[in-house]
Structure 1
């Protein structure tokens, strides 16, 4: 007899991942589909929504093909907030505009801040407008592609698009909506109609549900495509970082999740709404939860870039070289702003800087400098969270970058904070599977995924990293004028 199981699928920046999980949390199978984003112009980062659905279908069929497990619920997540506009028939009108890595809406942000008021936006929506916000991206399409926008009727994000394809439902989770600034009121827990009509005229904004609530059930058509059984319930889903936090139990007040991925994301759970111009205030994935969040525009993207530059060296080899380099990377210092920077710098025109290069520096030094740069940026974000009123009591790390041990150790050494690592660090797809399991029964993340290791800071590195962190903080203001001028040349 087939074993009951839940399917979790996450649409990420560089890949889609699916997991098939038993009711007790045991990972039965996993699969990945790698993809790339499109960069049609400087600051523009897009992806075709067909990729999301095609990869879901492929993952679902692979994971269920052996026939030894019957999927009883499906959980969804995806990168976000993204902007996918469709017509009234749900035909995508253009590739989806991705989250904060897409910085095209600078002019729209400036205009909306002037029209609506910076303080009024932050008071109602929880966050200032930035490249992370979905609202200005909608406004960009309306202003720059008016003929296309005239046919736009609906707004989707990766998880809600999968929910639509699977169930026929047009829904969005509250967390994703709370990143659609300035369209959503974080106090009323609903769309704010006056600003929605102004920023996204003509759009029928989706009904809102919590991430773990059912969007609907698999339709006959979706069943034929995916191999799933008709009638299987599907969660509403959420943004990947929040599903990732659920996958490691980092959703209690005082928790901070660090997501080591293509970008670095930080989600801190707070007891009441807190706002700060350097951070994002959002709803959590679960009812009644609130978050202060931060995110870097790059982290793993920089290490991947270095690996490509170095040739066919694998990550394990580069980690060994970085270990040999030692704390301080041989006197190298990097600003990891290779795609602009999100929190707390909030500068889409920032650029990467490598300072202190000599002819004696090695690949290991450069790779170590990239890992340390991420750690300095994490410390900068943690300081911003504390300044905004956050009270960090526990740090939980998750994501592919936790493998190998060195990167997490560097982050603990630089920040002076311990990090919990859970037994399973698969990521957002596992968090989606948890929500799917909770949709049809009882499931506890502490039972599914217990703590396996605690990374603690090494006191002997503290003084050195404190000094280097001071230099790191000074490097951005010292070079900002130059890199802004260079960014202007790149955008010509």
Structure 2
């Protein structure tokens, strides 16, 4: 048996899988993040991450089939995050989460000025943004110096769990490549001059690949988790990339499109390529590279609209949206209600409804929201195509339950989407990484099976091309006004 566990934004999920990819059992524990101040997003690493990994491990070990043995475990998690711990692995403050935590905007600007935008893009592959870990380390150093001085190591979500399980101080290459500007992506190693400048006395973790066995479960960890002492532990990685791995996104040109509270895109590439509007990272498999992008809203926008318009059941709202013709009868939405990440990277961006008339109803609003999200995905995919055209798109996530959303993305982008039979998530990819690392399955094992394909409707292409051209003009045309309104907002 193989055990995979993923610590997501809203829950921790674990699966027990055999070496053929059959899921034997699963467990989920819901949790929430803390939002103590505007722009802050945190989690208590011990109370949430570690305790939930312990609980899920114990529950799944108890469900092991008779005479079966556990061969390896791997844990992934949200990221890139920043957790500072003392020498006894006690967290010194809550973990600072990925790009949704925007506290380090001053540090982003100062480090960009110090190192140079062009040099950062060339060395790290990605410009500094709220997604970067380096500015967050700098923020702690400036604003919480007592925490920084007391720290003996810094961790991401999965590397913290690996340390708690094995005592090893490691970080996987992919997570490290999102710790800009500390990692030299082209060279697959620490960018030591900049890393030592920002990290100061903090040692740099040993770099490993996500499937690499980093150590064995210690006796102390075995007592808390129920896992057998001596069990091999694979490094793991950021959850979105483990999920991409789980659905067979592994060859150059393969893309994953994740439908969720936000949308996240990953594409495997065959040679180094950097773009100021994308994230260039190390991939999951040794020596691989990937491009990534993410929006700031998606499912959160639909949930907001549902609440705003009276909280009608989702099926009723879907039926209303399906009753509106593609194009929403001239209504366009810019879905920047929480700012935007790729490709504008503007936390002060705001939502826009354009073309609204008295004849537009609730169904129009929902279809326009789905189409606005789809236009944003087309904009991102066109940036991907500038460097490396995608050849195969695999779609995952809860948003696929909406026929309007999924079809709008295929129609707007002109791309087919492959939907896998098993869309369990990152924990399934973790189990596969554990099996590969422990040598229990071949390195090229792929458990993914495609169940269906969402094809674009060619009848809508010309109309969507025209609407996209108009939609793409909305942000640059209103940016100045957005920023004035954002500055006037006391929140």
The Cα of 1:64 is off from its aligned counterpart by 3.1
Describe the SS at the equivalent of 2:244: helix
**Aligned pairs for 1:285-300 within 5 A:** 285-300=284-299
* More off after superposition, 216-225 vs 321-330: 321-330
Contact 1:42 1:491 in 2 (8 A): no
Is residue 12 from structure 1 mapped to residue 26 from structure 2 by the alignment?
no
The Cα of 1:208 is off from its aligned counterpart by 0.7
Task: Tell me which residue corresponds to 2:407.
Answer: 409
Task: Tell me which residue corresponds to 2:364.
Answer: 365
Q: TM-score, normalised by structure 1?
A: 0.94
Contact 1:10 1:240 in 2 (8 A): yes
Is residue 63 from structure 1 mapped to residue 60 from structure 2 by the alignment?
yes
- Residues 1:331 and 1:226: Cα distance change in structure 2 (over 3 Å): farther
Task: Tell me which residue corresponds to 1:33.
Answer: 29
The Cα of 1:482 is off from its aligned counterpart by 2.3
1:101-146 per-residue CA deviation (whole Å, 9 max, x = no partner) reads: 1122111111111111111111111111111111111111111222
Task: Tell me which residue corresponds to 1:168.
Answer: 167
Task: Tell me which residue corresponds to 1:206.
Answer: 205
Contact 2:248 2:446 in 1 (8 A): no
**Distance of 1:491 and 1:149 partners within structure 2:** 31
- Residues 1:159 and 1:134: Cα distance change in structure 2 (over 3 Å): same
- Residues 1:32 and 1:406: Cα distance change in structure 2 (over 3 Å): farther
Task: Tell me which residue corresponds to 2:475.
Answer: 476
1:70-124 per-residue CA deviation (whole Å, 9 max, x = no partner) reads: 4321122111111111122222121111111112211111111111111111111
- Residues 1:384 and 1:447: Cα distance change in structure 2 (over 3 Å): closer
* More off after superposition, 358-367 vs 152-161: 358-367
**Distance of 1:58 and 1:330 partners within structure 2:** 51
The Cα of 1:183 is off from its aligned counterpart by 0.6
**Aligned pairs for 1:197-346 within 5 A:** 197-310=196-309, 313-346=312-345
Q: TM-score, normalised by structure 2?
A: 0.94
The Cα of 1:344 is off from its aligned counterpart by 1.1
**Distance of 2:245 and 2:445 partners within structure 1:** 11
- Residues 1:489 and 1:397: Cα distance change in structure 2 (over 3 Å): same
**Distance of 2:51 and 2:91 partners within structure 1:** 14
- Residues 1:444 and 1:367: Cα distance change in structure 2 (over 3 Å): farther
Q: What is the number of equivalent residue pairs in this alignment?
A: 487
Structure 2 residue runs without a partner (length 5+): none
Two-structure CA RMSD over aligned residues (Å): 2.0
The Cα of 1:444 is off from its aligned counterpart by 7.3
**Distance of 1:322 and 1:29 partners within structure 2:** 37
The Cα of 1:317 is off from its aligned counterpart by 4.2
**Distance of 1:268 and 1:307 partners within structure 2:** 32
Contact 2:248 2:447 in 1 (8 A): no
- Residues 1:447 and 1:101: Cα distance change in structure 2 (over 3 Å): closer
**Distance of 2:201 and 2:209 partners within structure 1:** 25
* More off after superposition, 472-481 vs 401-410: 401-410
**Distance of 1:173 and 1:368 partners within structure 2:** 40
Contact 1:260 1:397 in 2 (8 A): yes
**Distance of 1:445 and 1:315 partners within structure 2:** 40
Contact 2:27 2:60 in 1 (8 A): yes
**Aligned pairs for 1:380-391 within 5 A:** 380-387=379-386, 389-391=387-389
Describe the SS at the equivalent of 1:187: helix
* More off after superposition, 328-337 vs 75-84: 328-337
Task: Tell me which residue corresponds to 1:188.
Answer: 187
Structure 1 residue runs without a partner (length 5+): none
- Residues 1:205 and 1:314: Cα distance change in structure 2 (over 3 Å): farther
The Cα of 1:314 is off from its aligned counterpart by 4.5
Is residue 438 from structure 1 mapped to residue 436 from structure 2 by the alignment?
yes
The Cα of 1:359 is off from its aligned counterpart by 5.0
Describe the SS at the equivalent of 1:401: helix
**Distance of 1:61 and 1:359 partners within structure 2:** 57
Contact 1:247 1:445 in 2 (8 A): no
Task: Tell me which residue corresponds to 1:394.
Answer: 392
Contact 1:132 1:342 in 2 (8 A): no
The Cα of 1:446 is off from its aligned counterpart by 6.8
The Cα of 1:28 is off from its aligned counterpart by 2.0
- Residues 1:371 and 1:15: Cα distance change in structure 2 (over 3 Å): farther
**Distance of 1:473 and 1:325 partners within structure 2:** 22
**Distance of 1:447 and 1:213 partners within structure 2:** 17
**Distance of 2:206 and 2:384 partners within structure 1:** 31
